[in-house]
Amino acid sequence: MTERTTKRDVVIVGGGASGLSAAIFVARYDLDALVFDGGCAAIRQCAHLENFLGFPGGVPPETFLSLGREQAELAGCEIVEDTVVEVARTDDGFMVETRDGREVETRRLVAASVYDDEYLARFADELDANRDGRTAVDGLYVTGWLAEEAEHQAIVNAGDGARAALALVRDVRREEEGLWEEVADYYYDWTVRDGRYGGAEFEDGIAELVADGAPPDATAEDERRMRERLRCEHLALEIDDAERERRAERGRRLVRKHVDEIEP
């Protein structure tokens, strides 16, 4: 590989509502994600974004995008201002080439760049995606207008990006981490108050999920390990009151930073 060739778990092409939303979800699963944001996000055509939930009075598109970039980077994603010009298949995914000469090898690619999609030309006959953004090309996901039946609304495209990212994470859980189908699909991203999980009902639910999803050749030890995996995943979602307040204050501070930059 050249000096400018790197490897990433996920490459996301496009830094608009859908691309940044996808970036947040995959990075929060601790996947090494890189966003190339060198094109023209569709949302920049909007004079003032007024119908995205959580912004009473609306928000300038650039402020909305800067908030999204901050959130994606806080989750652990790297964002680079560069344009993808070509994507080629490799034995284990894709080679991504950019206008500035970068080369990135990745197992999975999320295409979220409706106005800059020439790099997908060689996949043109395989881009029909199902509802969660999966395409006929293994490891290639599409969001927003690149998917079928997309809406020209930022909040819908952000949801498309999140949905494609969750599909990607579930594929990683199944194909790379070896989780059984139903266990791999039983994934969601949120936090809960300390003490939300635990007790007999919780344990019974975990045991039922594992038993229902176990393949015919699964051993008792296989099931025990799978139950422990799910138990640890759930308990890791809990946060205590002190941590909840710390995160709330951090959120307030970061929002103020961007909102205070809005010029009258």
Residue showing tokens 């953004």: 133
In this predicted structure, what is the pLDDT of residue 4? 62
Segment 194-212 shows an average pLDDT of 96
More confident residue, 264 or 256: 256
Query: What single string gives the DSSP state of each residue in 147-194?
Result: STT--S-HHHHHHHHHHHHHHHHHHHHHHTS---HHHHH------EET
* Residue 43: band (very low, low, confident or very high) from pLDDT cuts 50, 70, 90: confident
Instruction: Round to whole Å and give the CA distance between 125 and 121.
Output: 9
Nearest to 94 by CA among 107, 103, 82, 80: 107
pLDDT in tens, 132-162: 899 999 999 998 777 666 678 899 999 999 9
Residue pLDDT, tens place only, 225-261:
999 999 999 999 999 999 999 999 999 999 998 887 6
DSSP string, 37-69: --S--GGGG-SSB--STT-TT-B-HHHHHHHHH
Number of H helices, E strands in the chain: 7, 9
Q: What is the DSSP string of 14-45?
A: --SHHHHHHHHHHHHTT--EEEE--S--GGGG
Q: Closest Cα partner for 114 from 54, 58, 157?
A: 157
pTM metric for this prediction: 0.93
pLDDT digits (tens, 9 = 90+) for 94-111: 999 999 999 999 999 999
Question: Can you say whether the dihedral through the CA atoms of 197, 201, 203, 207 is positive or negative?
Answer: negative
Across 53-72, average pLDDT: 94
Closest CA to 67 of 13, 115, 21, 12: 21
pLDDT of residue 41: 79
The CA-based angle 141-146-152, given to 5 degrees, is 130
